[in-house]
Structure 1
């Protein structure tokens, strides 16, 4: 608040100085000066208005307070030094804003990595990716920045390993073959993506170095689960439904889902697609599974929802086909008929 008041005072003094000089020159030239009072009045009005408008902005006050409280910490991070304040004392959101401001003036690889880590903590993968790339532009050999970028790409893909993320992780493993953090990121994201051969290789690599104690037990359970999921993958690799829409306009959005019988919430698998015509055949493959494959004795159902609006969300799909039992292994597509709910 003090800087805004000081700015207003400076503007007033500047206006008064300009008015005094204008009046002196006008008298020398023999011109009238009676209207000259308008100049400082205009400056005064502008100064007061600016003070009031900026001073009443709730975000400005908070931003200035954060700059004052955490500015030294941000400058230390950008310079590659440990800040005097403990990380637990600094809110992540506030620190991200202050650090972003500091990096716009003095960019550094360490600073961009720190900012990316804050965005990762805040659950903002797009901003994490941008900061990680800027860090790598300044320091292409940074292992931590390559892994941060990989993590951002995985988070953007819903926690699943994709090829760009795998390339970043592989860059690290080519240089540090026993980097546990890289192996764990690769293994967990590959498991979620249904890339079970990659996940199994990752568990085995980790177990070769950490086979004892509680850590070894957790890794063995992970390995066993990936092997079981791989064995079940063939059963769920290609499931399909033929969906009919009697007297329904085509061209809308169709959602086909699989869930455990009697369950609610997130389905086990789901696929969304635009329907050019009815009947429409929809296939669900491994990439459409949102959760782990269920065990053999799990009772499953398959159903559908539809909205005539193309590109709509599932909560807008008010036309449905009630779920029917799904028998495995599937021999023929399940028949579903849509009707208004």
Structure 2
């Protein structure tokens, strides 16, 4: 399982996208395109790279590079059961090959343990249901980005935040879990906020530019105050920033 060390620039992604469209059956081009997109998206599988990997695996179910990307992408997306499933498939592929694969299998065991640890931390998080007011749905564009964060009502960096493709919203609604895994700083987590009895607020915003800072034209909602013990909250995006 060797991953190419390539700089994930927009131009590289576009070039590989064109190459993939011209040669969709070329596994090397397909997996390289998916890999570059994966790292450019900070370890997240977008709809395009996921579709490419699924096509590769449909033709070659034992493709180890594609299996590994699926495992890492599902783990990053907090789809832990799916991630563990891909790890098991990858282990099976390696065991079936002749030779000594002790190191590779040990690495996969470490990855599996890491995913289990991540899952335990995620279970301590807060489920956020984001709804878009029906009057604003026509203002949402296909390449928009959804930001969801939990912060101190007094200000400062979020205790947890996610930047997600707008495609996560289905029929005007999305369910997102924020946990210690989504901390921006290692010492500023939801657990630390709970320990300090910090008054928290959940905010959600749809950005047209993808900028983490709110801009005119973005869609947002009022911050929703929550208690440190709360594990679920609903947020409505119901206004456009002037």
TM-score band w.r.t. shorter chain: 0.5 to 0.7
- 2:57 is aligned with 1:173: yes
1:218 aligned residue: 110
2:75 aligned residue: 191
> 224, 229, 236: which is aligned to 2:126?
236
Residue segments in structure 1 that go unaligned for 5+ positions in a row? 1-116, 241-254, 273-282, 335-341
By how many angstroms is 1:298 displaced? 5.1
CA RMSD of aligned residues (A): 4.8
Distance between the aligned counterparts of 1:155 and 1:216, measured in 2?
20
Distance between the aligned counterparts of 2:88 and 2:33, measured in 1?
25
Q: Is the 8 A contact 1:299 1:325 kept in 2?
A: no
Distance between the aligned counterparts of 1:153 and 1:290, measured in 2?
25
SS in 2 for 1:258: strand
Q: Is the 8 A contact 2:31 2:53 kept in 1?
A: yes
Larger radius of gyration: 1
2:8 aligned residue: 123
2:26 aligned residue: 142
Pairwise mapping of residues 244-255 of structure 1 onto structure 2 (< 5 A)?
none
SS in 2 for 1:257: strand
SS in 2 for 1:237: strand
The structure whose RCO (Cα within 8 Å, separation 6+) is larger is 2
By how many angstroms is 1:156 displaced? 5.0
Q: Is the 8 A contact 1:160 1:192 kept in 2?
A: yes
Q: Is the 8 A contact 1:129 1:153 kept in 2?
A: yes
- 2:201 is aligned with 1:303: yes
Superposed CA deviations along residues 223-254 of structure 1, whole A, max 9, x for unmatched, are 42354367x18x533268xxxxxxxxxxxxxx
> 292, 295, 301: which is aligned to 2:181?
292
- 2:46 is aligned with 1:162: yes
Q: Is the 8 A contact 1:150 1:169 kept in 2?
A: yes
Distance between the aligned counterparts of 2:65 and 2:27, measured in 1?
11
SS in 2 for 1:188: helix
Q: Is the 8 A contact 1:207 1:220 kept in 2?
A: no
1:328 aligned residue: 230
Q: Is the 8 A contact 2:8 2:36 kept in 1?
A: no
- 2:66 is aligned with 1:182: yes
Pairwise mapping of residues 26-41 of structure 1 onto structure 2 (< 5 A)?
none
- From the two aligned structures, give the one with the greater strand fraction: 2
Label 1:304 to 1:284 Cα distance change in 2 as closer, same or farther (>3 A).
same
**TM-score normalised over the length of structure 2:** 0.54
By how many angstroms is 1:129 displaced? 2.5
Q: Is the 8 A contact 2:152 2:158 kept in 1?
A: no
By how many angstroms is 1:191 displaced? 1.4
SS in 2 for 1:326: coil
1:34 aligned residue: none
Q: Is the 8 A contact 1:260 1:298 kept in 2?
A: no
**TM-score normalised over the length of structure 1:** 0.40
SS in 2 for 1:121: coil
By how many angstroms is 1:203 displaced? 1.9
Superposed CA deviations along residues 174-198 of structure 1, whole A, max 9, x for unmatched, are 2332222111111111211222332
Q: Is the 8 A contact 2:13 2:33 kept in 1?
A: yes
